[in-house]
């Protein structure tokens, strides 16, 4: 039995999710999971560097620090599973995204978390740097998980959409006709922008259960200003990140709305996520939207998605056999398996790349 580890830290920069899995046809067997939280100082430095506030020394030090933490997360999930490291086939590490700029004359995407350290400290072959080959082929380098969604979550005769509520929200449309092309793209902000505002206003890293947002009301004028952002009306392929949707972007808009309470702004940010997801999902009769990611723990966001996405049914990816928290790390375990078997990991119809490509670089144990 081949076993794989997936390591994922998203744009919310709250920590590293590690999962140890094996794949049997379309069945995913989960052997162990573990989360390693970022120390607050590391998270703050990552957030600053992601907004171009830092030096080359900061970049090098954070690459080492996050690589060591990714290695710790992998070692911890191996220990939980009770497997000898030599029995693990490989680790797929997404790394920590610092900047994602797929458009323009010199597109790039930067993920740190030195994979050399992961391979060295765990003794397990590590696959990393998944995005840049797709970018080199003219793609967005994101999203990459739709290929995994297609492999494990599609169902002939059933129209499905997978919605990931991470720092950024992204969707994968899996048509009822399995021969039809899959579509997938980032719809816009989700947890990262709400978390940033919550931290700025309350000192808390996130709005637990959406309770603070629920104290406020949607300001339609601010919402309208937010929705005028050109990204939302762009046609895919497209991807985005905190380079665009960040605290500075929000505060520029708030200059036109100076009298809003912090809770009203938080509730309006939540509404922005719910509305932009609903507007961009290709709804069809009988569609089910399966939701994953950290946003599933935001009770108010889930409530509002039921409203904005009606009549489509909202469900958890747990119905498909995988807990919402563990979909993305599992995807990168699967992408590592594709790389080591010499198979492509991207969907050109999703990313816009000129063709299928084998993704990632391999760091042998």
Indicate the annotated binding residues: 10-17
Show the beta-strand stretches assigned E in the chain: 4-9, 15-24, 27-37, 90-101, 108-112, 126-128, 160-165, 168-174, 183-189, 288-292, 313-316, 361-363
d(CA 237, CA 143): 9
Strands 4-9, 15-24: pairing is antiparallel
From the list 239, 224, 271, the residue with the least C-alpha distance to 347 is 239
From the list 243, 314, 317, 232, the residue with the least C-alpha distance to 275 is 232
- Burial class of residue 40, CB neighbours in 10 A (0-12, 13-18, 19+): exposed
**Residue 352 in 3-state DSSP?**
coil
- Residue numbers belonging to the annotated binding site for ATP: 10-17
| 304 and 271 Cβ atoms separated by less than 8 Å | yes
Joined tokens for residue 155:
């169902």
Cross-strand pairs, 316: 291
Helix H, strand E, coil C: the string for 174-203 is ECCCCCCCCEEEEEEECHHHHHHHHHHHHC
Residues 6+ apart with CB under 8 A from 343: 358
| 282 and 310 Cβ atoms separated by less than 8 Å | no
């Amino acid at each position: 039995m081949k076993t794989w580890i997936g390591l994922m830290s998203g744009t919310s920069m709250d920590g590293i999710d590690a999962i140890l899995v094996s794949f049997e046809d379309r069945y995913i067997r989960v052997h162990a999971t573990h989360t390693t939280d970022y120390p607050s100082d590391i998270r703050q430095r990552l957030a600053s560097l992601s907004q171009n506030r830092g030096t080359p020394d900061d970049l090098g030090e954070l690459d080492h620090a996050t690589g060591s933490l990714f290695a710790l997360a992998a070692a911890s999930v191996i220990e939980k599973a009770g497997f000898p490291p030599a029995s693990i086939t490989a680790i797929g590490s997404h790394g920590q995204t610092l900047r994602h700029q797929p458009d323009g004359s010199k597109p790039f995407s930067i993920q740190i978390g030195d994979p050399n350290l992961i391979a060295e400290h765990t003794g397990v072959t590590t696959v990393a740097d998944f995005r840049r080959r797709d970018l080199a082929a003219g793609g967005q380098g994101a999203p990459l998980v739709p290929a995994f969604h297609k492999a494990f979550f599609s169902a002939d005769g059933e129209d499905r959409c997978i919605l990931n509520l991470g720092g950024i929200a992204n969707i994968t449309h899996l048509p009822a006709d399995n021969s039809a092309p899959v579509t997938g793209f980032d719809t816009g902000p989700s947890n990262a922008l709400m978390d940033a505002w919550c931290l700025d206003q309350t000192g808390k890293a996130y709005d637990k259960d959406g309770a603070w947002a629920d104290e406020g009301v949607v300001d339609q004028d601010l919402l309208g200003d937010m929705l005028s952002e050109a990204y939302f009306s762009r046609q895919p392929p497209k991807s985005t990140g905190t380079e665009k949707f960040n605290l500075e972007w929000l505060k520029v808009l708030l200059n036109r709305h100076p009298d809003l309470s912090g809770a009203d702004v938080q509730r309006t940010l939540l509404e922005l996520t719910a509305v932009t997801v609903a507007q961009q999902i290709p709804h069809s009769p009988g569609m089910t939207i399966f939701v994953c990611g950290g946003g599933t723990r935001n009770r108010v966001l889930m409530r509002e998605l039921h409203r904005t996405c009606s009549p489509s049914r909202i469900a958890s990816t747990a119905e498909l056999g995988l807990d919402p928290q563990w979909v993305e790390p599992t995807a990168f375990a699967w992408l590592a398996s594709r790389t080591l078997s010499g198979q492509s990991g991207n969907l050109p119809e999703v990313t816009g790349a000129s063709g299928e490509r084998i993704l990632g670089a391999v760091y042998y144990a």
